[in-house]
Amino acid sequence: MKTLKRSLGLLKRKLGRMVEIKAGILLHQPVAAREGAGIPGAQLARASVYRPDLDYSKDEFTRRNLRQNDLYELLVDRRPVCFGWVARAGARVGILHDIQMTVPDRAFYIWDCVTPPEYRGRGYFQSLLKQLVSSRDTGANLALVAVDTRNTASRKALAKAGFQPLFSYLSIRVLGRVVLAVANRGHRLSQAQILFDQLA
Ligand SMILES: CC(C)(COP(=O)(O)OP(=O)(O)OC[C@H]1O[C@@H](n2cnc3c(N)ncnc32)[C@H](O)[C@@H]1OP(=O)(O)O)[C@@H](O)C(=O)NCCC(=O)NCCS
């Protein structure tokens, strides 16, 4: 019995490595000035210059900047407590597996957000999001963000920060090759890439 369980576990792990099924949701909200966005005393700042304490190599930081991405951080008592990258209009971004998106005109796309483990659960991500969508700095009128359907903490923070789902998508990769990538908008199924292309 033990041997059978172990073999089944091994098979499951092998299959898991061969077949990767991932799903996500694209969310949006208008950018507009709002009073009292975020936690009092927490400030949003753009990290325009590389610092060694950032969790990215200098090359990666520069590469992202050159591809129209800016790093924002939320500062509490001048200490960074949450980070998020923002891709500007025209940037080409990867969404999931082979699915990509060109950020539409007058929009920005928030991605690769992280709250270091010691600061999690204090509303810092929500505060970063709220300040981003109420900032006039970007000149944009629409904020977009994508989230893995299994990321409960992120989904909760995004909903509390006012983001609404636009559509959901699913991609299946077998042995490194995408075999299916579909999106569901208003109960209509289409090829995921087509729907993302229509946003531009
Ligand atoms: C997702 C992440 C950025 C959230 O950061 P955070 O600063 O802790 O987020 P917030 O405190 O603003 O909000 C998280 C909410 O989810 C809740 N939460 C946390 N873990 C949860 C879980 N496993 N299940 C349900 N809710 C959860 C928190 O209690 C909080 O809700 P509340 O305000 O009602 O208490 C952080 O967990 C992280 O860095 N994760 C790894 C990277 C990642 O997944 N990035 C997502 C990019 S879209």
In a domain? residue 87: yes
In a domain? residue 101: yes
Q: Residue 163: which of 182, 139, 146, 138 has the closest Cα?
A: 146
CA of 147 to the centre of ligand 1 (A): 12
Average confidence score pLDDT of the chain = 94
Residue 93 sits at φ, ψ, to 5 deg, of -125, 150
Which residue is closest in CA terms to ligand 1's atom 20? 153
- 193 contacts 181 by C-beta, under 8 angstroms: yes
Which residue is closest in CA terms to ligand 1's atom 33? 123
Average pLDDT over residues 170-193: 96
Q: Which atom of ligand 1 is nearest to the CA of 147?
A: 48
CA of 155 to the centre of ligand 1 (A): 8
CA of 128 to the centre of ligand 1 (A): 12
CA of 179 to the centre of ligand 1 (A): 31
In a domain? residue 190: no
In a domain? residue 77: yes
Which residue is it, tokens 């992280």?
Answer: 114
Provide the number of structural domains found in the chain: 1
CA of 175 to the centre of ligand 1 (A): 31
Which residue is it, tokens 């490194």?
Answer: 176
Query: How many percent of the chain have pLDDT more than 90?
Result: 82
In a domain? residue 47: yes
Task: Give the model confidence (pLDDT) of 136-149 as tens digits.
Answer: 677 899 999 999 99
Residue 61 has a pLDDT of 98
In a domain? residue 166: no
Query: How many percent of the chain have pLDDT more than 70?
Result: 100
Task: Give the model confidence (pLDDT) of 48-78 as tens digits.
Answer: 999 999 999 999 999 999 999 999 999 999 9
Q: Residue 184: which of 171, 168, 199, 197 has the closest Cα?
A: 168
Residue 138 has a pLDDT of 73
Rg (CA), the chain: 19
Which residue is closest in CA terms to ligand 1's atom 1? 154
Does the pLDDT of residue 135 top 80, yes or no? no
Does the pLDDT of residue 19 top 80, yes or no? yes
Residue 122 has a pLDDT of 96
Does the pLDDT of residue 128 top 90, yes or no? yes
CATH number reported for the structural domain that contains residue 144 in this entry: 3.40.630.30
In a domain? residue 171: no
- Tell me the best of 120, 132, 148, 150 to mutate to test the pocket of ligand 1, counting ligand atoms within 8 Å of each CB and taking the most: 120
- 31 contacts 138 by C-beta, under 8 angstroms: yes
Domain coverage including residue 139: 29-160
- The contacts of residue 97 (CB under 8 Å, 6+ apart) are 20, 22, 171, 173, 178, 181
In a domain? residue 152: yes
